[in-house]
Structure 1
Amino acid sequence: MSRFASPVGHALSSGITRRGVLALLAAGTAAASPLLAGCTSDRTAATTTTGAPTGAATRGGTARLAFAGAGAAESLDPTVGTSPCDLARYAVVFDSLFFFADGEAKPSLATAAEADSKARTCTLTLRKGVKWHDGTPFTAADVVHTLKYRASPDRVSPSELSAYFDLASAEAADDHTVVVPTVQPVGDPATLFAGAGLHVIKDGTSSFSADNTVGTGPYRVTAFKTGVETRLERYDGYWDGDGYAAEVVLLSVDDAQARVNAVKDGQADYASDISFTTAKAGTPGAGLQIRDAGKDARTTYGFVLNVSRDLPSDPRVRKAIKLGIDRKALVQAVFLGYGAPANDLFGAGAKYYLDSVDVPQRDVTDAKRLLKAAGATGRPFVVRTAEYETGLNSSAELFVEQLKDLGLDASLVKVSTTEGYDPAGMKACDAMSFPLGPFSLALTYTRSAAFETLAFPDEELTEAVATAISTTSETERAEAWTTAQKVMADRGNWIAWGRSDVLSLAQEKLTGIENRESPKYPWLGKAGFTA
């Protein structure tokens, strides 16, 4: 799955695909949002357990996990699927070169990615001793094939890594070394590879079915029924240690309440991404627990202002909105206590994230003064929203009411998730609801600008992001990301108002659920049950 785009303000010119944005956002789509009416109760949120049990799992058994799926659109091809069920399956059947954990890139099939002194070539050092599910050894030829396969224009969605690397020119220097030329300087290639959803496929692979899909991951496919379930068998001999559950079954269940019911009725051991209303009602049965993924794995909710439009282009209007909205009211109404106000920055939990930026203090008087000075009072302001995350639509409703209180003639346009990022529709709005998980800053500062109508064309910001991506100096990279975040907090077009917990329902004894890229599709390589 493609997850990377080009530098802020220049996304369209370098081949960012609409599917890439939809994939990143739709991966977290959950059940219908809570209504604003009746959702502002001061009642304390029901207690959750952070993370999975820490006790050692026993070997054996079947772990059954329910995720939001995509029906007939699901696929075993790791370059195609975008639903949480697809992504959870890809992550446990295939391995990537690098993966994200604790906000930064970690080695997987590649142990290092080194840029040359001018950041024009990347040398990948590959892990030795890895075998495919059919017993053949993993080599550089597999990585070269994967890069060329992803670069092909015949793909449904060619890899956005092509904006940075000349994937088609990748060459194997030896069995465990691959050299990849860049098309622009890349100083931290591991982060780009980790953010690209680049699952490595075997040399020669061109089709995927339950009979011929092999990976290097901890589980292998034994059966696949599109939109229903995937059955996975433990692959003993996995390079990072054998898994615990003998079998993992992934259930494709698009409705969040149906996922909860599956666990309640004993048909599943885990339900991903449950609603805040379900959590607040408490655990639905004995032996079950509501889990949150932790503060660093929260999803940031916000709005991106379209600075190609008259009002959002005025820094006084942007400042007024930052100062005037009631973040606490939004958090309480939408998250029901499962979250906290945000500071207008996406990327919380990632390496280089600027924790020192405070949540803006609400000042309605100053906000109204700024809007009046900008000549914005009483003028139309259109907010567009789609329910990519539980509560985005209801947050947009409350946001519009708050803008009206500040003096704007605000209105709301609700569209389906398939229409949400339609370029024409986005061009006609002043603000667009936008959620983003705990991804790297490189991903955060490019994917949020995947369309010109969401980009922030600021010279200082563009230079900072370009430096952060191209420099080989860790010190320069940290300084560049600090600059970029200060620009966005001070005068940027992000109104990131809150961070929500990511909740799940699980059997108490289910353990080994590991948050990597997103807790909405966790890594299941060590899933199992405590004694």
Structure 2
Amino acid sequence: MELSRRGVLRTGALGGAALLSGGLLSACAGGANTGTGGSGSAGPTGAPKRGGTFVHGISGGSSKDSLSAFVINSASDFGRFCAMYETLWFPSADYTIQKKLVDEYSVNKAADEWTIRLKSGVEFHNGKKLTAEDVLHSFTTLLDPKTAAAYAGSLSDLDLANSRKVDELTVRLKLKSGLTNLPEILSTFIPIIPVGYDPAKPVGTGPFKLKSFEPGRQTTFTRHENYWQHGKPYLDSLTIIDFADESSRVNALLSGQVTGADTIEFSLLPQLQGKSGVSLLHQQTNSFVPLQMRTDKPPFDDPRVRQAFRLLVDRKALNEASFLGHARIANDLYAPSDPLYDASLPQREQDVAQAKYLLKQAGAENLKVTLTTADLGAGIVSLSQAFAEQAKRAGVTVTVDKVDQATFYGPNYGNWLFSPNLTTPANYFYTCQSSDAPTSTTNFTHFKDAEFDSLYRQAVAETDTAKQKELAHRMQKIQYDRGGYIIAGFYDAFDGHSNRLGGLKPDVSGLALYRYADLWLA
């Protein structure tokens, strides 16, 4: 979705996203190529051309940036991941899960044994051919505590001891319990690396191979000449440049220093409107920025307080203040385009009187809470500040403590009492697994509920779609009543780019500029 963090990729949304048409920006476009309803933007047409360097301006980055396939601490780490590494499956631009390094597969009735045959002829950057042993080595490395992999929890149901190589290109995975959504799990941050992988000299099967790396500054790549996707990548090289502030990144795009800049801050969009040679790609996504309440610590260990905080929110006003209206109203639940989503639950509205009543019942009148935030992406600091203002109406004092990214993603990441986060769009069970489920290692609300956990175990193994949907709806009702997320909206993403850049199309994940193998320059 995630989407690393010791959690989920804060690249996930990498800034914002949603399913609302961009009426506000479109209305005042004034000649800018903004598009509406998740549209493409001006760029070259015709057959892709070969050659050139795509320079990606990315927000953030620090001395803690990593080349490891298993550690993603910033958006630029995610960019390096996309350039160098690949997964067995992948989510397409419309978020359908498709085979990548997989040629064919089969699964048993209980969904606890998957036989996967790999594509032949896939080559790592060091010339080694991909084999079944590499897949098992990848999973072993991911699950090794010494690796400190953010997404190790995603494979917590893998019975590695009883998984085995069938032949040179076939692996049989045994699970501790059924998982009908294993392809989606393996499409996220579970990279395939070769036996003998060294994170100091990283190689993968991705479209680009590493040339140089300056943490917090710049990374350069060259084309993987023997890339398995015939004809790709089109570019000769790729450069990622880190920017400490958004204004500098926008100026770099306008001056031609960078070719593309993803998820532009909403307040800075007017600077790109109508400018010669520059366009905006509007992506309507399912990404969201949750405000996370730790359910195991006072005052949020009381579900009445959690419900009160959700009732404090004027969702329309919050989205307007934070994202200039480029958002669709949400209902504290995720994955709205998944068929499992329960749209029948009443839309939660602001109710200050009821919030005050619940706080009084919980003995939490005149409550004071710190909301720890940072410049994680478009609109997030504004979201934090807007919520604090709305909370005043119920006599709740929310102190917004803005820290830098290094501090936010430091040792306390995942343990802040009250904080925002970035989450990539995904289907219901995967998002659940990475946030609320009993297998999650990125459960930043520390949500624990025996009934919910039992339903999750049943639902992910259920192959009858009607029964699975009924179980999923029961799970969502629990989250709706006593979960730890405040989800006010799903936010649009706008990527700025040179009109010379081809291969772009709207992406429900808001990550069009990160699909490096598809990009080309006129």
TM over 0.5: yes
Q: How far apart, in 2, do the equivalents of 1:457 and 1:149 lie?
A: 28
Q: How far apart, in 2, do the equivalents of 1:422 and 1:217 lie?
A: 29
In the alignment, structure 1 residue 20 sits paired with structure 2 residue 37: no
CA distance 1:244–1:357, change in 2 (3 Å) = farther
CA distance 1:240–1:443, change in 2 (3 Å) = farther
In the alignment, structure 1 residue 80 sits paired with structure 2 residue 71: yes
What secondary structure does 1:89 align onto?
A: helix
In the alignment, structure 1 residue 447 sits paired with structure 2 residue 434: yes
Q: 1:220 aligns with which of 182, 202, 209?
A: 209
CA contact (8 A) 2:107 2:114 kept: yes
CA contact (8 A) 2:11 2:422 kept: no
Q: Which residue of 2 aligns with 1:8?
A: none
CA distance 1:57–1:388, change in 2 (3 Å) = same
* 1:270 CA drift (Å): 0.6
Q: AA paired with 2:425?
A: P
* 1:314 CA drift (Å): 4.2
* 1:286 CA drift (Å): 0.2
Q: Which residue of 2 aligns with 1:127?
A: 119
* 1:356 CA drift (Å): 4.8
CA distance 1:156–1:60, change in 2 (3 Å) = same
**Equivalent residues in 2 for 1:103-502 (5 A)?**
103-112=95-104, 114-133=106-125, 136-157=128-149, 159-167=152-160, 170-195=163-188, 197-209=189-201, 213-226=202-215, 227-233=217-223, 235=225, 238-239=228-229, 241-283=231-273, 285-294=275-284, 297-309=285-297, 311-350=299-338, 352-357=340-345, 359-420=347-408, 429=417, 431-449=418-436, 450=441, 454-502=445-493
Q: How far apart, in 2, do the equivalents of 1:30 and 1:178 lie?
A: 37
Higher mean alpha-carbon deviation, 411-420 vs 336-345, is at 411-420
* 1:348 CA drift (Å): 3.8
* 1:56 CA drift (Å): 3.4
What secondary structure does 1:58 align onto?
A: coil
Q: How far apart, in 1, do the equivalents of 2:240 and 2:448 lie?
A: 42
Q: How far apart, in 1, do the equivalents of 2:159 and 2:365 lie?
A: 50
Q: How far apart, in 1, do the equivalents of 2:345 and 2:218 lie?
A: 44
Runs of 4+ with deviation above 6 angstroms: 421-428
Higher mean alpha-carbon deviation, 455-464 vs 337-346, is at 455-464
What secondary structure does 1:154 align onto?
A: helix
Q: AA paired with 1:164?
A: D
Q: 1:512 aligns with which of 498, 503, 506?
A: 503
CA distance 1:435–1:69, change in 2 (3 Å) = closer
* 1:190 CA drift (Å): 1.2
In the alignment, structure 1 residue 64 sits paired with structure 2 residue 55: yes
Higher mean alpha-carbon deviation, 322-331 vs 122-131, is at 122-131
- TM-score of the two chains, using structure 2 as the length reference: 0.83
Q: How far apart, in 2, do the equivalents of 1:425 and 1:413 lie?
A: 14
Higher mean alpha-carbon deviation, 493-502 vs 414-423, is at 414-423
CA distance 1:113–1:461, change in 2 (3 Å) = farther
- TM-score of the two chains, using structure 1 as the length reference: 0.81
CA distance 1:457–1:526, change in 2 (3 Å) = same
What secondary structure does 1:55 align onto?
A: coil
Q: How far apart, in 2, do the equivalents of 1:453 and 1:140 lie?
A: 34
**Which ranges in structure 2 are unaligned for 5 or more consecutive residues?**
17-23
What secondary structure does 2:147 align onto?
A: coil
CA contact (8 A) 2:331 2:488 kept: yes
Q: How far apart, in 2, do the equivalents of 1:370 and 1:153 lie?
A: 42
Q: AA paired with 1:189?
A: L
**Per-residue CA shift, 1:15-54, capped at 9, x if unaligned?**
xxx9422x522666669xxxxxxxxx99966462334558
Query: What percentage of aligned pairs have identical amino acids?
Result: 25
Q: How far apart, in 2, do the equivalents of 1:423 and 1:65 lie?
A: 29
Q: Which residue of 1 aligns with 2:20?
A: none
RMSD after superposition: 3.5
For this pair of structures, how many residues does the alignment match?
499
Q: Which residue of 2 aligns with 1:10?
A: none
**Per-residue CA shift, 1:92-113, capped at 9, x if unaligned?**
3332111123334321112455
What secondary structure does 2:6 align onto?
A: helix
* 1:219 CA drift (Å): 3.2
* 1:421 CA drift (Å): 6.7
CA distance 1:410–1:132, change in 2 (3 Å) = closer
**Per-residue CA shift, 1:182-233, capped at 9, x if unaligned?**
23443332122123x1221223333543xxx543333334444443131222
Q: AA paired with 2:117?
A: T
Q: AA paired with 1:194?
A: S
Q: Which residue of 1 aligns with 2:19?
A: none
* 1:506 CA drift (Å): 0.5
CA contact (8 A) 1:380 1:410 kept: yes
CA contact (8 A) 1:57 1:511 kept: no
* 1:178 CA drift (Å): 0.4
CA distance 1:193–1:113, change in 2 (3 Å) = farther
CA contact (8 A) 1:134 1:214 kept: yes
What secondary structure does 1:308 align onto?
A: coil
